[in-house]
Amino acid sequence: MADGRELIYFDEQPDRERILTDPRDLPVVVPASEARFDALVGEWVGIAGHRQSRTYHPPADICPLCPSTPGNQSEIPSPDYDVVVFQNRFPSFGGAGAVAQDGALFDLRPGTGRCEVVCFTADHTATLAHLPVARLRTVIDAWADRTAALSAQGGVAVVFPFENRGVEIGVTLAHPHGQIYGYPFVTPKIAAMQRAAAAHRERTAGGDLFADLLAGELEQGVRVVGQNDTWVAFVPFAARWPVEVHLYPRRPVTDLTELEETERDDLAALYREVVLRMEGLFDDTLPTITGVYQGPVGAGGDAIRLHLQVLTIRRAEGRLKFLAGSESAMGAFVNDLSPEGTAARLRDVQLPTEPVPAEG
């Protein structure tokens, strides 16, 4: 790209026209990310003051994620694309950042790492769940490819592909896209999973927390939403969010790179089904977050099983779940909906009978 960032095409069609030069005159953004340790709770926090000037709700005709046209030289120079990944111009992590400062109470590290944008389609008005299953499979392949690349990059401890969807979530670009963060530290949620998995392994003389949770959900059955030969989708027993679905592979794998071809196919199909079922609950928008949880890079990764978590803050038509005093200030979630009731509603959703049309 014109400012030295990397852009990668993931093509489904070999005859796609590709423009491999960026004609723009872009100033270089120098990331000034830091990682600061919160000694009070034992967690790392990212500080990225350079992100205040990032793009905010641009009109559709100058969308930076659409293919380039004579009137809009975007981040993608080609006139069309299938899936594209590029380095975020305003990354939360990346660059040299601060000089390390050791201290028991004030521990400071450079915010190294990498942040990438994943564009799911050239169609500005599409949503991921309404693209062909083959496109979701391409997205999964891109996630896996970038997981391998970022895991091999120095200074990355956790690779996290995710999608934010909807203005209610805080999305500032309407074009269907997700992101991949290469964090320079083990994130609080992954660290908590590691602790829980280790405690379970000790308590059960070697038990696998993720395998035992999956076996329990399958045995009880009341929270299972869908399944196929290699994946299971269920509302978790202690769901925090109004509608929350987890997707677990039947075979224990640490990250996306370990998935076999059939497992990638099945994940694409089941993930689309889950989001379509969630959409069917509300005659309203569906602000969602999808997170792909993987084992951390290096030591301790085998304690975490790859899985997806899909959640919405929509609790009823016209009503959202706001994280107020108990959730934001205390970290103690209170869910207004029962997981068993939510799972039953999701199973009852009538999926579209017509196949999702191909692009174009």
Q: Is 130 annotated as a binding residue?
A: no
Question: 296 and 221 in one domain?
Answer: yes
- pLDDT more than 90, % of the chain: 81
Residue 357, domain member (yes or no):
no
Q: Is 50 annotated as a binding residue?
A: no
Residue 354, domain member (yes or no):
no
What pLDDT score does 290 carry? 98
Question: 194 and 130 in one domain?
Answer: no
Strands lying side by side in the sheet with 83-87: 7-10, 83-87, 114-119, 177-183, 158-165, 288-293, 307-312, 243-249, 231-234, 224-227
307 catalytic per annotation: no
Question: 122 and 27 in one domain?
Answer: yes
Q: How far apart are CA 176 and CA 182, in angstroms?
A: 21
Residue 202 burial (CB count, 10 A): 10
Question: 237 and 129 in one domain?
Answer: no
Question: Which one, of 246, 239, 237, lies nearest residue 307 by Cα?
Answer: 246
Paired strand residues for 180: 116, 161
Look up the pTM and report it. Answer: 0.94
Question: 88 and 205 in one domain?
Answer: no
The string of DSSP codes covering 190-228 is HHHHHHHHHHHHHHTTS--HHHHHHHHHHHH-TTEEEE-
**In sequence order, what are the residues at sequence separation of 6 or more whose Cβ sits closer than 8 angstroms to the Cβ of residue 271?**
136, 247, 290, 308, 310
Give me the mean pLDDT over the 296-318 stretch: 89
Question: 213 and 65 in one domain?
Answer: no
Residue where one domain finishes, among candidates 155, 185, 215: 185
Question: 139 and 27 in one domain?
Answer: yes
- Print the domain residue range for 196: 190-348
What pLDDT score does 164 carry? 95
Question: 161 and 233 in one domain?
Answer: no
Q: Where are the alpha helices (DSSP H) in the chain?
A: 133-151, 188-203, 209-220, 261-279, 330, 339-348
Predicted confidence band at 339 (pLDDT cuts at 50, 70, 90)? very high
Domains contained in the chain, number: 2
Return the exposure string of 121-138: e unless at least 16 CB atoms fall within 10 Å of the residue's CB, then b: bbeeeebbbbbbbebbbb
Say which range, 100-109, 111-120, 122-131, 189-198, has the weakest mean pLDDT: 100-109
Q: How far apart are CA 137 and CA 130, in angstroms?
A: 13
Angstrom CA distances, 221 to 125, 236, 247, 263, 306, stand at 36, 11, 14, 22, 21
Q: Is 175 annotated as a binding residue?
A: yes
Check: CB of residue 226 under 8 Å from CB of residue 247.
no
Q: Is 57 annotated as a binding residue?
A: no
Return the exposure string of 252-284: e unless at least 16 CB atoms fall within 10 Å of the residue's CB, then b: ebebbbbbeeebbbbbbebbbbbbbbbbbbbee
What pLDDT score does 301 carry? 62
Residue 353, domain member (yes or no):
no
Check: CB of residue 196 under 8 Å from CB of residue 209.
yes
Question: 292 and 230 in one domain?
Answer: yes
Residue 356, domain member (yes or no):
no
**pLDDT single digits (tens) 183-224:** 999 999 999 999 999 999 999 999 999 999 999 999 999 999
Question: 248 and 310 in one domain?
Answer: yes
Q: How far apart are CA 293 and CA 283, in angstroms?
A: 29
**In sequence order, what are the residues at sequence separation of 6 or more whose Cβ sits closer than 8 angstroms to the Cβ of residue 189?**
293
Q: Which of 218 and 110 is assigned the larger pLDDT? A: 218
Q: Which of 259 and 104 is assigned the larger pLDDT? A: 259
Say which range, 8-17, 144-153, 232-241, 260-269, has the weakest mean pLDDT: 8-17
Residue 71, amino acid = G
Residue where one domain finishes, among candidates 135, 168, 185: 185
The CATH code of the domain that includes 282 is 3.30.428.10
Residue in the structure block whose two tokens are 């790179």: 257
Residue 334, domain member (yes or no):
yes
Selecting among 50, 130, 177, 200, the annotated active-site residue is 177
Residue where one domain finishes, among candidates 185, 207, 242: 185
Residue 3 burial (CB count, 10 A): 13
Residue 238: is its pLDDT beyond 90? Answer: yes
Q: Which of 95 and 347 is assigned the larger pLDDT? A: 347
